[in-house]
Amino acid sequence: MKPVNVGLLGLGTVGGGTISVLNRNAEEITGRAGRAIQVTHASARDLNKQREFSTAGITLCQDPFEVVNNPDIDIVAELIGGIEPARELVLKAIANDKHVVTANKALIALHGNEIFRAAQNQGVMVAFEAAVAGGIPIIKAIREGLSANRIEQVAGIINGTSNFILTEMRERGLQFDAVLDEAKELGYAEADPSFDIEGTDAAHKLTILAAIAFGIPLQYDKVHTEGITDITPADVDYAGELGYRIKHLGIARRTDHGIETRVHPTLVPRKRLMANVEGVMNAVLVKGDAVGPTIYYGAGAGAEPTASAVVADLVDVTRALTSDPENRVPHLAFQPDALNDGGVLAVEDNETAYYLRMSAIDQPGVLAEITRILGERDISIEAFLQKEQEPDTTHVPIILLTQKVREGNMNAAIEAIEKLPVVSGRIMRIRVETLA
Amino acid sequence: MKPVNVGLLGLGTVGGGTISVLNRNAEEITGRAGRAIQVTHASARDLNKQREFSTAGITLCQDPFEVVNNPDIDIVAELIGGIEPARELVLKAIANDKHVVTANKALIALHGNEIFRAAQNQGVMVAFEAAVAGGIPIIKAIREGLSANRIEQVAGIINGTSNFILTEMRERGLQFDAVLDEAKELGYAEADPSFDIEGTDAAHKLTILAAIAFGIPLQYDKVHTEGITDITPADVDYAGELGYRIKHLGIARRTDHGIETRVHPTLVPRKRLMANVEGVMNAVLVKGDAVGPTIYYGAGAGAEPTASAVVADLVDVTRALTSDPENRVPHLAFQPDALNDGGVLAVEDNETAYYLRMSAIDQPGVLAEITRILGERDISIEAFLQKEQEPDTTHVPIILLTQKVREGNMNAAIEAIEKLPVVSGRIMRIRVETLA
């Protein structure tokens, strides 16, 4: 059969990785796909840049629209990232009857509903495995591998930068800022790391995971998002004393009331496999009603791991080229008419256990006041640590683990406790998940 | 679209699970597959047996060939297990132009080449996700999710019974036989557990994993297979002292000389995620040249986890019903004309590190003799434990960890050491893998 022609938008890290993998493993990929997959055209901002990979045999141009409008191209691989012009390019490619493969999580999370509708109408495929957890085939696992299940929960370590920082803080007892600087030097964090450390990147990915797990449209604006910037070495230590590790998780969970979607630092029991995913690695726990808990682990970023997913999508699209469009794997796992809005919950209606750290005057009756406020809001205490008073201070740290509670109740309790004269400053709260 | 009709062979554990999952999650499954998937016919040896699941709406019969020959059935799900009549039924179903879904690892490992050839000629699909690692979508991950990669290694905990026994031996310090009895009581081991504890079941699964990872035909007879029956609590303890845990692994690895396929107890460094997979759970490590190491974890057996894979295959086949047969995912990941025999190595040519435990007279010069024999065969010692002499014995246990060595060399060294007058009895050997 004649080769499939790919037009590549962007010759950055992922674009380069994609070309390298397609070249190096050409024989294996052809053997799997049944025909060769070749990059014939590519666009890049700077055509004269020195690159570490060969672009031999590829027609290069500066204008990505030239690639998207080229009638010889079967599949467009969008690897430039960001919203515009990526969105316009993808929609133009679809309108030109081309299939699209993209690694762009922000684009899919924010504009996927529009893009998938256009693709559906045109009868073309948009594949986005590389948008979540790099080389781990997590989209495929949920959308196809677990298609028998009513999915109950998805919980993922889906931002390698945050996981690297938390791992280093724990293993070496370092402050957040010190590790962040190191991560920048190692290339694990961008010069502007805010997307990673404030949770935005994880929220994009969680939006996608929640949609394909629960059959709901993409709803990025409903994800409650917190990053790891407030985590202190003391919290990491106290969590350890209580038998937990702090992980930055994206969690989507089906409850009787609706679906929780949230991204935040989380205490996870130390013995769980998810608590032992270290450094820049990613892992996603998916719990289905038939299969029970399953975990998918691997590299969540980097040129070749991401290219692994991009190329797997190219093979998938190639394998499905001749299939009847209405029988293909649906973009969001469910057929468009089977999607429902799923009642994604407001953050106040989420239910979880909490780690609370506060600073209180070391005098009799303080703990009684705090537990009274918690008790009035149906919050039970699971464990309690009181640390020694530091020299020259009047306050001691008090650490509480609570049982599960509605977040709205916890907000009210925290507000009331912070108003107590014996408590100083803000209360640090970190959610606790058993992931069992 | 009109529903897909499934004919089910066997109403045992997996058959019952499949019916339960299809009924319970009918709405979700239809939403994903784009049409309903319904079991219309089923065969069972005893039609009058009381069952825990409903067979309402299903036409039951005793003769499975009635199901296979029924013109209304689109997909046959073979869930009776064993070789015959399963083989004949599957071939007949294929000849009748039906797609097949099977959970039968022995059948695929031993007769898959014949079955896939027949299916290829007939233009039908044979799906077998449930044959390996229960509900974990590991076939899909390797065959589709990692299709960009040259696979370097697959290493799996793929027999839950063996993993349960090894976990209990370690956690509770028990003898093999005691845990086996307990496993039988808990339903984790069959009345005749030999397929599990002697490694046959894992070898069936490894045969399948090796084929789809490396693009080679199924070659069960070339797998070197050892079970866990010789592992003692002392070995478990010594492994722990050295920083390892003993896991029963199926390993398929690409080397410069050919492909290793082997199933045996293995020392794995305690900090690896794979070493922390406990009880009846399964996990498979797959290492690709682009993606690096990835791990897939979940329940490897049980009615509903296995049904999860069977039903996922039913959805997959349904989604691909209208696709051009030559564009479908190939049974063994690669197109038939891209398979090669891959040069599977004889066990003597495998390379691995070793744990050796022997019993020697406690006198000067013994260790020198042993290390001389190892040194003559280019075997370096990595670590060494000598235990205290037990009261009323003349011998002490000596434990060695070696560096990597060709298995043929190790065989010769062990033979020579066992002949030393100062060494008593057989040497216990367990292979060591870093899984890094």
What are the structural domains of chain B?
4-135+303-338 (3.40.50.720), 138-299 (3.30.360.10), 350-432 (3.30.70.260)
State the pLDDT confidence band at B393, using cuts at 50, 70 and 90: confident
Probe site for chain B from A271, A277, A281, A291 (most B CB atoms < 10 A): A291
- Is position A12 annotated in a ligand binding site? yes
Probe site for chain A from B101, B136, B147 (most A CB atoms < 10 A): B147
Secondary structure string (H, E, C) spanning B393-430: CCEEEEEEEECCEEHHHHHHHHHHHHCCCCEEEEEEEE
**Mind listing the pLDDT tens digit for each residue in B158-209?**
999 999 999 999 999 999 999 999 999 998 888 899 999 999 999 999 999 9
Amino acid making up residue B170: R
Q: Copy the structure tokens of residue B118.
A: 């027949």
DSSP string covering B134-198? TTS-HHHIIIIITTTS-EEEEEEE--HHHHHHHHHHHHH---HHHHHHHHHHHTSS-SS-HHHHT
Residue ranges of B 201-230 with Cβ closer than 8 A to chain A: 215
Q: Copy the structure tokens of residue B92.
A: 């007949």
B273 and A4 in contact (C-beta within 8 Å)?
A: no
CA distances from B45 to B60, B64, B80, B101 (A): 10, 9, 10, 20
A17 interfaces chain B, CB cutoff of 8 Å: yes
Residue ranges of A 104-163 with Cβ closer than 8 A to chain B: 129, 134-137, 140-141, 143-150
- Say what the pLDDT of residue A190 is: 86
User: Using a CB-CB distance cutoff of 8 angstroms, which residues of chain A are in contact with residue B334?
Assistant: 28, 31-32
A316 interfaces chain B, CB cutoff of 8 Å: yes
Residues 6 or more apart whose CB falls under 8 angstroms from that of B388 comprise B396
Report how far residue B70's alpha carbon sits from residue A368's, in angstroms, rounded to the nearest whole number. 73
Report how far residue B335's alpha carbon sits from residue A33's, in angstroms, rounded to the nearest whole number. 8
**Mind listing the pLDDT tens digit for each residue in B231-283?**
999 999 999 999 999 999 999 999 999 999 999 999 999 999 999 999 999 99
Q: Copy the structure tokens of residue A281.
A: 């690695």
Amino acid making up residue B110: L
Residue B157 has φ and ψ, to the nearest 5°, of: -90, 95
- Say what the pLDDT of residue B45 is: 93
Please judge whether B292 and A299 are an interchain contact, meaning their C-beta atoms are less than 8 angstroms apart.
yes
Probe site for chain A from B291, B317, B326 (most A CB atoms < 10 A): B291
State the pLDDT confidence band at B379, using cuts at 50, 70 and 90: very high
Q: Find the CB nearest B312 among A137, A146, A328.
A: A146
Report how far residue B121's alpha carbon sits from residue B113's, in angstroms, rounded to the nearest whole number. 12
User: Using a CB-CB distance cutoff of 8 angstroms, which residues of chain B are in contact with residue A146?
Assistant: 135, 137, 308, 312
Task: Name the more confident of B328 and B225.
Answer: B225
Q: Copy the structure tokens of residue A102.
A: 């993209």
Probe site for chain B from A149, A167, A274, A313 (most B CB atoms < 10 A): A149
DSSP string covering B73-126? -SEEEE-S-SSTTHHHHHHHHHHTT-EEEE--HHHHHHHHHHHHHHHHHHT--E
Report how far residue A2's alpha carbon sits from residue B13's, in angstroms, rounded to the nearest whole number. 46
Does residue B387 carry a pLDDT above 90?
no
Residue ranges of A 74-93 with Cβ closer than 8 A to chain B: none
Q: How far apart are the first and last CA of chain A?
A: 48
- Which DSSP helix (H) or strand (E) runs through A60? strand A59-61
List Cβ<8 Å contacts ≥24 apart for B82-88: B82/B106, B82/B107, B83/B107, B83/B110, B83/B111, B86/B9, B87/B111, B87/B115
Report how far residue B49's alpha carbon sits from residue A160's, in angstroms, rounded to the nearest whole number. 53
CB-hemisphere CA count at 13 Å for B244?
23
- Say what the pLDDT of residue A436 is: 79
| Residues forming a β-bridge with A281 | A299
- Is position A105 annotated in a ligand binding site? yes
- Say what the pLDDT of residue A23 is: 97
* Chain B residue with minimum CA distance to A289: B304
Amino acid making up residue B296: Y
A351 and A407 in contact (C-beta within 8 Å)?
A: yes
Q: Find the CB nearest B290 among A292, A307, A318.
A: A307
A269 and A434 in contact (C-beta within 8 Å)?
A: yes
Please judge whether B321 and A329 are an interchain contact, meaning their C-beta atoms are less than 8 angstroms apart.
no
What are the residue ranges of helices labelled H in A104-245? 105-122, 138-140, 160-172, 176-186, 194-197, 200-214, 233-241
User: Using a CB-CB distance cutoff of 8 angstroms, which residues of chain B are in contact with residue A287?
Assistant: none
Closest CA to A230 of A198, A261, A203: A198
* Chain B residue with minimum CA distance to A293: B298
Q: Find the CB nearest B150 among A25, A137, A296.
A: A25
- Is position B16 annotated in a ligand binding site? yes
A308 interfaces chain B, CB cutoff of 8 Å: yes
Report how far residue A306's alpha carbon sits from residue A313's, in angstroms, rounded to the nearest whole number. 11
- Say what the pLDDT of residue B325 is: 80
User: Using a CB-CB distance cutoff of 8 angstroms, which residues of chain A are in contact with residue B17?
Assistant: 290
Please judge whether A298 and B298 are an interchain contact, meaning their C-beta atoms are less than 8 angstroms apart.
no
Q: Which residues of chain A, if any, have pLDDT below 70?
A: none
Residue A418 has φ and ψ, to the nearest 5°, of: -65, -20
Task: Give the minimum alpha-carbon distance from B326 to chain A in angstroms, rounded to a whole number.
Answer: 8
User: Using a CB-CB distance cutoff of 8 angstroms, which residues of chain A are in contact with residue B326?
Assistant: 1, 34
- Is position B9 annotated in a ligand binding site? yes
Task: Give the minimum alpha-carbon distance from B36 to chain A in angstroms, rounded to a whole number.
Answer: 12
- Residue A56 exposed, middle or buried by CB count within 10 Å (0-12, 13-18, 19+): exposed
Report how far residue A58's alpha carbon sits from residue A80's, in angstroms, rounded to the nearest whole number. 17
User: Using a CB-CB distance cutoff of 8 angstroms, which residues of chain A are in contact with residue B312?
Assistant: 144-148
Q: Find the CB nearest A294 among B289, B290, B298.
A: B298
Report how far residue A316's alpha carbon sits from residue A333's, in angstroms, rounded to the nearest whole number. 15
Amino acid making up residue A75: I
Report how far residue A84's alpha carbon sits from residue A61's, in angstroms, rounded to the nearest whole number. 18
Please judge whether B290 and A308 are an interchain contact, meaning their C-beta atoms are less than 8 angstroms apart.
yes
- Is position B15 annotated in a ligand binding site? yes
Q: Copy the structure tokens of residue B209.
A: 């994993």
- Is position A401 annotated in a ligand binding site? no
Please judge whether B135 and A33 are an interchain contact, meaning their C-beta atoms are less than 8 angstroms apart.
no
Task: Give the minimum alpha-carbon distance from A363 to chain B in angstroms, rounded to a whole number.
Answer: 43
- Say what the pLDDT of residue B341 is: 78
Q: Copy the structure tokens of residue A11.
A: 């010759």
B50 interfaces chain A, CB cutoff of 8 Å: no
Please judge whether B324 and A320 are an interchain contact, meaning their C-beta atoms are less than 8 angstroms apart.
no
Does residue B392 carry a pLDDT above 90?
no
Average pLDDT, chain B: 95
State the pLDDT confidence band at B322, using cuts at 50, 70 and 90: confident
Closest CA to B345 of B407, B274, B420, B281: B407
Report how far residue B110's alpha carbon sits from residue B302's, in angstroms, rounded to the nearest whole number. 23
- Which DSSP helix (H) or strand (E) runs through A25? none
Report how far residue B92's alpha carbon sits from residue B115's, in angstroms, rounded to the nearest whole number. 10
**Active site amino acids of A:** 205
Report how far residue B217's alpha carbon sits from residue A363's, in angstroms, rounded to the nearest whole number. 74
Among left, alpha and beta (phi > 0; psi -120 to 50; other), residue B376 is alpha
B275 and B251 in contact (C-beta within 8 Å)?
A: no
State the pLDDT confidence band at B157, using cuts at 50, 70 and 90: very high
Task: Give the minimum alpha-carbon distance from B275 to chain A in angstroms, rounded to a whole number.
Answer: 10
Indicate the Cα dihedral angle B179, B181, B185, B188, nearest 10°: 60
Report how far residue B385's alpha carbon sits from residue B265's, in angstroms, rounded to the nearest whole number. 20
- Say what the pLDDT of residue A391 is: 74
Report how far residue B294's alpha carbon sits from residue A229's, in angstroms, rounded to the nearest whole number. 29
- Is position B12 annotated in a ligand binding site? yes
Q: Beta strand pairing status for B151-157 and B281-288? A: antiparallel
User: Using a CB-CB distance cutoff of 8 angstroms, which residues of chain B are in contact with residue A215?
Assistant: 28, 31
CA distances from A289 to A151, A152, B30 (A): 6, 7, 16
Amino acid making up residue B21: V
- Say what the pLDDT of residue A412 is: 97
